[in-house]
Chains A and B, each alone.
Chain A
Amino acid sequence: MGFRNELEQDTIDSLPLRDAAVVRPDTTASEAVRLMRETSLGCAIIIGPGDAPIGLFTEQSLVDLLARDQSLDACVVGDCVDPGFLVVKSGDPVSRVWDAVERDGLRFVCVTDNDGRSKGVTGQRGIAEYLAERFPQQVLVQRLGNTPWMQQREGA
């Protein structure tokens, strides 16, 4: 069975989900930034009626505001949503997230339960961790740092 089949058969439940800050459209950008720092996550989910995700305020949204010298206290997140927005259900195949990252370059994907309520976010990090877990001998054994492998070897 090819890995593409695994992506089609595994559901998004099997991806690491992160608890994102949840905000309303009228939340100020400065408050969203505070919540994002608390959660150490680069986005806040904007929810509407029924707690359904209706947009994302992301680090890119923040950068765009600052670049335009806009006050974070004067802006509400509903006016500066990130254009990259996708909602999936936790029972959908993992391939939906893979495609969103690979083809559309999305960083975050909102995940809901079957009733449409927000469960959290996954995305680039989630799909990377999913891959690493499935290929541990090719990924998890790698040295990490900022010196070449050759310089880390002991001996002659």
Chain B
Amino acid sequence: MSGTPQSDPDDFDDPLSNYEPTQYASELHRVLAEESIDSMRSTPIAEVTADTTIRDATKKLSELKVSSLLVIDDEKLVGIFTERDVLEKVAENYQELVDHPVSEVMSADPTVVYETDPVGMALAGIAVAGHRHVPVLKMDGTVLGIVSPKRVLRHLSPNLD
């Protein structure tokens, strides 16, 4: 009989037989490396659409006492409008810009993290990339939430000892 010879199950060499899970120096190390961002609190979020006026977006930042608004069109993140944008792009010409759409001054294509990324990546977005707020996307590209330094620290706090 021709064809692939039958393999003997007893000869099977399991490549994972010597696998040993990563050992972490502390629970904090493990949380940063292995826990996914969807285990963190990343809601609520504050959002506007791209055609929202700068006046309305600024009022929303003030009323909600938040530092950033996610700019979402058709359930997709198209940008982020932050207090820094107000400082850098809006403040000195506010009266001229108030009726313009927020899309003109928002930060397009912001750094994002995905729900399955590790918590350490959210921290990298804040500490390394220097963003105060990092949007969290689902794998289909829709918005899940946003992470902030406060939310990261709250998530880590139970594991400090």
Q: Are A131 and B123 within 8 A (Cβ)?
A: yes
Q: Does B70 contact A (CB under 8 A)?
A: no
- Taking the complex as formed, is A64 at the interface, i.e. its CB lies under 8 A from any CB of chain B? yes
Chain B binding surface, main DSSP class? helix
Which residues of A are found within 8 Å of B72, using beta-carbon distances? none
Q: How near does chain A come to B108, taking the closest CB pair, in angstroms?
A: 10
How far, in Å, is A144 (CB) from chain B's closest CB? 5
Instruction: List 24 interface pairs A-B (beta carbons < 8 Å), by A numbering.
Output: A2-B26, A4-B160, A33-B87, A36-B87, A37-B88, A59-B67, A59-B84, A60-B83, A62-B83, A63-B61, A102-B150, A107-B67, A124-B132, A125-B132, A125-B149, A127-B153, A131-B127, A135-B120, A138-B120, A142-B121, A142-B124, A146-B111, A149-B114, A149-B117
CB distance from A145 to the nearest CB of B (A): 6
Q: Report the interface size class on chain A.
A: 35 or more
Known: A3-B160, A42-B84, A128-B127. A144 touches B111 (CB 8 A): yes
Q: How many A-B residue pairs have CB under 8 A?
A: 134
Q: Are A66 and B58 in contact (CB under 8 A)?
A: yes
Q: Would you call B150 and A139 a contact (CB within 8 A)?
A: no
Contact A138 B32 (CB under 8 A): yes
| Distance A110 CA – B73 CA, assembled complex (angstroms) | 39
A98 is an interface residue with CB less than 8 A from chain B: yes
Q: Is the CB of A129 within 8 A of B127?
A: yes
Name which residue of chain B comes closest to A6, CB basis.
Answer: B160
Q: When the two chains form their complex, are residues A135 and B91 in contact, meaning their CB atoms are under 8 A apart?
A: no
